[in-house]
Amino acid sequence: MTRIARGAPSVGEDTRPVTGRAALPRTLPLRVEAVRQLRRRRTLVAFGILLVLPWVLVGAFEIGGDPSSDGPGGRPSLVEVATASALNFALFALFVSVGFLLVVAVALFCGDTVASEANWSSLRYLLAAPVPRARLLRQKLIVAFAYATLAVVSLPLMSLLAGTVAFGWGDVRLPDVGAVVPSGEALGRMAIIVAYALVSQLVVAALAFLLSVTTDSPLGAVGGAVGLVIISNILDAVTALGSWRDILPTHWMFAWMDVLQPSIQWAGMAKGAALSFSYAVVLVALAFRRFQAKDIVS
């Protein structure tokens, strides 16, 4: 018996007992949850911004002209080599958005997912459908992570497209050193950068998810996660804290810049990835525990 048999009105009642876990249908399939989230204005606006931003940046460079090619000390920064090639442009776009825009996007997808259901009161009907609580969280987490990943990946991909149109495809000029990396190798490095950006956003995603489970207000969950990122950034600016800053969740957010050294530096990214993953795993576990013990009163 793979489905729970239900009686139709003309046939009369069904009296077969419902037995065992094996009888549980696959509730809240990923495709269903993805469709439920996809048609939301919030989703469309977030992706719209991420996909339009590269073109806005291209426009800005077209209007403002090439960035100064001679920075202080003769070392070009990331913005100064932004128009060198499509890959350079994508790196620049990532650099300007990873600290806040991508944080907001990730917090949006992960912070809104449960809290908005609570806000709409649809959560209680889903749970009574019944979708077991752990499964509901799991499915929502997977879909939210997938959307967040798509958001983080879509920006550099669109930047590559916009950059190719505007500045052409070519080798990458590294900032600071001015060394040139062939485009083939640079694509590999770009993949590392995007992968690290994703891992470093894990902590934001998990924090937003925990808040989403905790509060019935989507704005509170998203804003809370973004707010904590801001506070972490402010603390990170207090250099007097010294090595204490190493355990701040956002301290390593820009460690992917180490990929742009002539030889890739892994230490910072290893530390950042370990920290982000560890925070995330604990925060998600707290979310599951909290949600399973919670009385749903929304």
Considering only residues 171 through 190, tell me which ones interact with other proteins, judged by CB under 8 A: 171, 173, 176-181
Q: Which among 105-113, 187-195, 219-227, 271-279 is the span making contact with other proteins, rule CB under 8 A?
A: 271-279
CB of 52 to other proteins, least distance (A): 21
Decide: is 230 part of the binding site for other proteins (CB under 8 A): no
User: Exactly one of 3, 60, 63, 237 binds other proteins (CB under 8 A); which one?
Assistant: 3
User: Exactly one of 150, 157, 195, 254 binds other proteins (CB under 8 A); which one?
Assistant: 254
Q: Can you tell me the distance from the alpha carbon of 37 to that of 49, in angstroms, rounded to the nearest whole number?
A: 17
> Residue 158 or residue 198: which is nearer to other proteins going by CB?
198
Q: Which among 143-151, 155-163, 187-195, 255-263 is the span making contact with other proteins, rule CB under 8 A?
A: 255-263
Decide: is 25 part of the binding site for other proteins (CB under 8 A): yes
> Residue 25 or residue 65: which is nearer to other proteins going by CB?
25
Decide: is 238 part of the binding site for other proteins (CB under 8 A): no
CB of 17 to other proteins, least distance (A): 5
Please report where in the chains the tokens 């489970």 appear, as a residue: 213
Decide: is 279 part of the binding site for other proteins (CB under 8 A): yes
CB of 56 to other proteins, least distance (A): 25
Q: Can you tell me the distance from the alpha carbon of 240 to that of 252, in angstroms, rounded to the nearest whole number?
A: 17
Q: Which among 86-94, 100-108, 160-168, 290-298 is the span making contact with other proteins, rule CB under 8 A?
A: 290-298
Decide: is 257 part of the binding site for other proteins (CB under 8 A): yes
Residues from 118 through 147 that contact other proteins (CB under 8 A): 120-135
Q: Which among 55-63, 74-82, 101-109, 147-155 is the span making contact with other proteins, rule CB under 8 A?
A: 74-82
In 3D space, the residue among 291, 196, 195, 182 whose CA is nearest the CA of residue 253 turns out to be 196
Token couple for 164: 């190719």
Token couple for 272: 């950042």
Q: Can you tell me the distance from the alpha carbon of 74 to that of 244, in angstroms, rounded to the nearest whole number?
A: 33
Decide: is 72 part of the binding site for other proteins (CB under 8 A): yes
User: Exactly one of 59, 75, 142, 212 binds other proteins (CB under 8 A); which one?
Assistant: 75
